[in-house]
Amino acid sequence: MDTDHVNYGLSAASAEEKTPIEDAPNPLPRAVLRLNNVMLLDGEWRFALDADDAGLNESWYLGRDYEHVATWPGSVEMHLAEARGLSDPARWHDQVVAWYEREFTVPACAEPGGRCMYQLTFGACGYETRVWLNGRPLRTIEGEDVHYGEYTSFSFELDESLLLPVNRLTVRIADTMDAETPRGKQESHVYKRGGIWYQTYTGAVRSVWLEVVERNRLRSRVSVVSLVEDRLVRFNVATRIHDPGQYTLRLQVFERPNGHGPATEPLASSDFPLRLEAGQKQQRVVLEVPGAELWSPEHPQLYRLVAELIDEHGYAARIEAQFGLRKIEARGRYVYLNNEPTYLDGILYQPGTASYEEIRRHFRAMKELGCNLVRVHIAGVDPRIYQLADELGLLLWVEVPSPHSSTPRSRQNHRAELLRMLALMETHPSIVIWSLYNEDWGAQDIASNAATRRYIIDTYHYMHLEHPQFLVVDNDGWQHISWEGRLKSDLLTAHLYTPALDRWRELLDQLTAGQLEGVAAFPLVVGDPFFYRHQVPLIVSEWGGFGFSDYGGPQDAAARTEQIRQFKHELRQRPIAGDVYTQATNIEDERNGLIDPQTGELSVPAGLLDSRTKPEPPPATPKPIV
């Protein structure tokens, strides 16, 4: 970190700023660095349950006595339990409303001349969040009086006229069992807790922080698209402007620090003049990085981006991010990474309430198992895990947390959640596949409702046009959509579960022969007829789930190891492009993990899921006879 930069400094405006957050690895749950004053507001907050949802009518935000204290970040379920003297997370029904409050003093602004302002960011909170400063309601930078969504960050710019020597921050968080909101595998009015459905985990789930930012700056939203043939990198950046005028966007790409300090000479640099009006704007620019090495699981080469927005007086507002160059394609039978056919040895991962340190241990263990792909299953997670995957060399398959019912409102909520996630997750070369839905949760009428299919088709096309750096799966597991005989999914995926090896061979033979019905729980394709002839990669995206005897599986670890080995062998004997074993760790009632959730230790031999051999290349296209 360049501590000589004009924007950087950790002032001692209050005792809270002395917290050694810089000693923690990437302490803030975000992917982009900003060299500025940051004050974490984590820790003890006052807390009250609003059982009758009376707080808004009674104006609790103007001040009240709170009966309890709670530690932020933390789930509202745990805070309710602590308030009731319980040790396990409390369950709630229908809806929950909770209020949090604390005081803070503002850090000093390191840059005089009215260039700086204060920004308040919630790493994730919700599902419905309202915020007040000294009794005055705040509006997000996107213009929301109420923020909806609980998986991604959102920010407020603080009007200095509202700031006092000591400030009171009030937060109201509400959630319901509404099946139309994105929930993933948390219980709802439709799916109740038990089996594969988990207890709710909502509320103040990630850090909140106050920082000094420039009035005219780049936001922490950077998208990277690379075409490996030309070594050109397409950067999408977001500008936030309060003072219209002429600006220069300067991008510089450096080698990442190697322990001897940051590189001093950029590998590539370019200036882009921009005339910017007040507000927020997306801008794409292209930079050539000659001689850049490609990112892959075997060689996770990363580069450091320094982006500066320079005003007419030469003042530079700066952010930094890491990125890699890679290309992912679905072409015929194979998935190609950087133009090389790559078999996907995957594993299903559900982090649940795991801490970031536990997730780090899990990721290292998955790499040790021989996986090159992790399917992060239908959940919004701490964005630091994407950086971790970038550094370790793990491909990621991510998914939109699904609603539990199929309605126009659930589709609207689904799209809003997808867009929020995309805005914050496009820097990472590790993220290569997105699932829109899983096993038709939230799209249960996919076979019978043309409106549901139309929404998914339109979203698939949108992803291809606006986010071409990803492969897109319409509905993972079964009931993919065919329109005029064209699959609206880059991968044909199937979830196959059987403990019997003979039945496993039979299912795989049927699948690879193009049998689309009677293989998975539902037909593999709905809509117009689709005739599979190996024109898209085939992925067995869930299989196994081999627990021990109490879960209907092998009697011991040795038996499970041999069963996995035999099933993997059968997969590799057939024209299949990849597979995803279920799953990495135990979670709630699902007792089928290969990794200890706390320690990260393996219960099976290292390398068990590594079956990669370079597949035979497709036959060369014959030259036309002239």
Is residue 590 in a domain?
Answer: yes
Per the CB < 8 A criterion, the answer to whether 576 and 539 are in contact is yes
Residue pointed to by tokens 């071409």:
468
The band of 10, judged by pLDDT with boundaries at 50, 70 and 90, is very low
Do 253 and 394 belong together in one domain?
no
Is the pLDDT confidence value at 25 over 70?
no
Does the model's pTM come out above 0.75? yes
Single residue among 184, 213, 242 that ends a domain in this structure: 213
For position 18, what pLDDT does the model report?
34
The band of 311, judged by pLDDT with boundaries at 50, 70 and 90, is very high
Is residue 8 in a domain?
Answer: no
Do 175 and 194 belong together in one domain?
yes
For position 262, what pLDDT does the model report?
60
Q: In the predicted model, what is the mean pLDDT of residues 405-432?
A: 97
For position 255, what pLDDT does the model report?
93
- In whole angstroms, what is the distance from residue 235 CA to residue 319 CA? 13
Do 256 and 273 belong together in one domain?
yes
For position 14, what pLDDT does the model report?
32
Is residue 131 in a domain?
Answer: yes
Which of 78-115 are b and which e, b meaning 16 or more Cβ less than 10 Å from the residue's Cβ? bbbbbbeeeeebbebeeebbbbbbbebbbbebbeeeeb
Domain span at 44: 32-213
Considering its fold, how many domains does the chain have in total?
Answer: 3
Q: What is the CATH number of the domain that holds 491?
A: 3.20.20.80
Is residue 243 in a domain?
Answer: yes
Taking only the tens place, the pLDDT of each residue in 506-530 is 999 999 999 999 999 999 999 999 9
For position 263, what pLDDT does the model report?
61
Q: What sign has the CA pseudo-torsion 455, 456, 462, 465?
A: negative
The average confidence (pLDDT) of the chain is 91
For position 36, what pLDDT does the model report?
84
The band of 183, judged by pLDDT with boundaries at 50, 70 and 90, is very high
Q: What is the CATH number of the domain that holds 68?
A: 2.60.120.260
* Percentage, residues of the chain above pLDDT 90: 83
Do 372 and 253 belong together in one domain?
no
Taking only the tens place, the pLDDT of each residue in 213-271 is 999 999 999 999 998 888 899 999 999 999 999 999 999 999 987 655 566 799 999 99
The band of 15, judged by pLDDT with boundaries at 50, 70 and 90, is very low
The band of 555, judged by pLDDT with boundaries at 50, 70 and 90, is confident
For position 100, what pLDDT does the model report?
98
For position 551, what pLDDT does the model report?
73
Q: In the predicted model, what is the mean pLDDT of residues 20-38?
A: 70
For position 619, what pLDDT does the model report?
53
For position 1, what pLDDT does the model report?
32
For position 580, what pLDDT does the model report?
98
Is residue 343 in a domain?
Answer: no
Do 231 and 202 belong together in one domain?
no
Single residue among 273, 288, 323 that ends a domain in this structure: 323
For position 4, what pLDDT does the model report?
35
CA 430 to chain centre: 11
Is residue 19 in a domain?
Answer: no
Is residue 18 in a domain?
Answer: no
Single residue among 213, 239, 262 that ends a domain in this structure: 213
* Percentage, residues of the chain above pLDDT 70: 92
What DSSP line would sit under 162-205, residue for residue?
A: G--SSEEEEEEEEEE--TTS--TTB--SSS-SBTTBB----EE-
Do 298 and 369 belong together in one domain?
no
Q: In the predicted model, what is the mean pLDDT of residues 334-363?
A: 96
Do 51 and 185 belong together in one domain?
yes
Structure tokens at 279: 């507000």
Do 430 and 524 belong together in one domain?
yes
Do 427 and 506 belong together in one domain?
yes
Print the SS3 string covering 396-414: EEEECCCCCCCCHHHHHHH
Structure tokens at 15: 């005792």
Is residue 442 in a domain?
Answer: yes
Q: What sign has the CA pseudo-torsion 278, 279, 284, 290?
A: positive
413 against 556, higher pLDDT:
413
Do 258 and 357 belong together in one domain?
no
Is the pLDDT confidence value at 499 over 50?
yes
Residue 596 φ then ψ, to 5°: -65, 125
Structure tokens at 149: 């969504």
Do 205 and 242 belong together in one domain?
no
Q: In the predicted model, what is the mean pLDDT of residues 521-545?
A: 97
Structure tokens at 569: 């062998």
For position 218, what pLDDT does the model report?
97
- In whole angstroms, what is the distance from residue 384 CA to residue 390 CA? 10
Q: What is the CATH number of the domain that holds 311?
A: 2.60.40.10
- In whole angstroms, what is the distance from residue 325 CA to residue 624 CA? 35
Is the pLDDT confidence value at 112 over 80?
no
For position 552, what pLDDT does the model report?
75
Do 250 and 311 belong together in one domain?
yes
